[in-house]
Amino acid sequence: MNSSKVNWGKLLPVFLSYVVMGFVDIIGVATGYIKQDFKLSDFIVQFLPMMVLLWFFVLSVPAGILQDRYGKRNMLNLGMVIQAAGLGLPFVHYSFGMMFASFILLGIGNTVIQVSANPLLQDVSSSEKLPSYLSTSQFIKAVISFSGPLIATFFAVSFGEWRLVFAVYGITSIAAAVWLSATQITESKPDRKPASFSSCFGLLGNRFITLMALSIFLIVGAEVAVNTNIANVLVARYSITFERAALGISIFFAGETIARFLGAVVLNFIRPGLFLLIIALLALAGVAGVIMAPYVNLAFVSIFILGLGAGSMFPVIFSIALKKKPDRANEISGLLIMAVSGGAVIPLVMGLVSTLLGPVVSLSIIAACMLYILWVSWYVRNMSDQ
């Protein structure tokens, strides 16, 4: 879309798909409730969230290829319907096996949503507004991710049934699909052969696209690693209770949420490459602060700064990649969403370093990820100046 005029009739239903996209993060609190309900071990219950993350690696590229053939809106609607089906399974029969199936459908549906939503947003926004809109979309997703545990707790306390959050999310997913289906969107259709596995993975021969995919792999991995490890780091460093240390997780997400809101505004005025450089420096300052902070409250401040820096990296990197080759948006989106699987790898690396060398030393993994993003931001700026 080349026009700078905003068409809210087309933009709003696409933005609603990011609300639906954020529903997948309910798996965190849901896993805790499922563990209690079925008295599962820590090891067994971890297979539930793994069933969600697995599909980002397996299906992202095939989904990108299919949407090149059948359209972004159709694939996005399919993803929302599949996710709604997964959210409805616990009301058919509540068992561990059924929740396992529910999480599989959640993973499949959300993978398709994430692959399709960003390229479709590109079709309803101008190239100048795309970085800002992508940051806005991630802000919307962050708010939903932050609210999910609160909603589940409300239903558990008020009605004695945490699963009601699945019902609300499922109905909203269907409503979003209906609205998007009723919205006419002219999708960009490049004048070339439909995408294939070879054309998709062939993009990795382009150094720029490979750097962007690795950036997504590392930033998502770093975010998940902070989410799953920072409390243990704080306990080891400051000898505080786990309950107090867990506050660091909420502080990190608060920083990310604010960052995505501010990023949507700031990206209207400065180039994405420069913005990426600034937030990479901010994130590095946050990591350094956590490592060196003599008091836990200073560590909390540093974690917030880390969240401010990391929060907008995903949408900015995504927009930079899409703008580089807009005619290959479907294939690029598939590759970049496949890179979300970094969320399964980087935390394991950080956990291994923590076991061998200590929790505080494991923060060097986060620092290494941010150093790479800093280098990429410098590379992007040099490319744009040429």
Q: Quick one: 272 and 126 in the same domain?
A: no
Q: Quick one: 89 and 216 in the same domain?
A: no
Weakest mean pLDDT among 125-129, 353-357, 381-385: 381-385
Residue 112's pLDDT band (cuts 50, 70, 90) = very high
Mean pLDDT over residues 158-181, rounded? Answer: 96
**pLDDT for position 386:** 46
Q: Quick one: 28 and 127 in the same domain?
A: yes
Q: Quick one: 260 and 363 in the same domain?
A: yes
Weakest mean pLDDT among 4-8, 13-17, 30-34, 332-336: 4-8
How many of the other CB atoms lie within 10 Å of CB of 381? 15
| 335, two tokens | 């590759």
Q: Quick one: 149 and 203 in the same domain?
A: no
More confident residue, 61 or 305: 305
Segment 323-355, tens digit of pLDDT: 888 878 778 888 888 898 888 788 888 888 888
Q: Quick one: 324 and 210 in the same domain?
A: yes
Q: Is the pLDDT of residue 52 over 90?
A: no
Residue 4's pLDDT band (cuts 50, 70, 90) = low
pLDDT above 70: percentage of residues in the chain: 95
Mean pLDDT over residues 162-183, rounded? Answer: 97
Segment 185-224, tens digit of pLDDT: 988 776 667 667 787 888 888 899 999 999 999 999 898 8
Of 184, 206, 230, the position where a domain reaches its end is 184
Q: Quick one: 203 and 129 in the same domain?
A: no
Instruction: Tell me the C-alpha to C-alpha distance, in Å, between residue 47 and each of 44, 54, 72, 99, 213.
Output: 6, 10, 31, 11, 26
Average pLDDT across the chain, whole number: 88
More confident residue, 64 or 309: 309
Its pTM stands at 0.74
Exposure string of 297-334, with b = 16+ CB inside 10 Å and e = fewer, is eebbbbbbbbbbbbbbbbbbbbbbbbeeebebbbbbbb
Q: Quick one: 154 and 197 in the same domain?
A: no
Which residues have a Cβ under 8 Å from the Cβ of 196 and sit 6 or more positions away? 65
Q: For residue 157, what is the domain's CATH number? A: 1.20.1250.20
**Could you tell me the sign of the dihedral formed by the alpha carbons of 152, 155, 161, 164, in that order?**
negative
Q: Quick one: 199 and 177 in the same domain?
A: no
Domain containing 74: what range? 1-184
Q: Quick one: 237 and 377 in the same domain?
A: yes
Of 150, 184, 218, the position where a domain reaches its end is 184
Number of compact structural domains in the chain: 2
How many of the other CB atoms lie within 10 Å of CB of 269? 8
| 296, two tokens | 């836990």
| 48, two tokens | 């539930």
**pLDDT for position 327:** 78
Mean pLDDT over residues 85-111, rounded? Answer: 96
How far is it, in rounded angstroms, from Cα 325 to Cα 328?
A: 6
- Would you give the DSSP letter of residue 125? S
Q: Quick one: 149 and 219 in the same domain?
A: no
Q: Is the pLDDT of residue 36 over 50?
A: yes
Segment 219-262, tens digit of pLDDT: 998 988 887 778 888 988 999 887 788 788 788 888 988 998 89
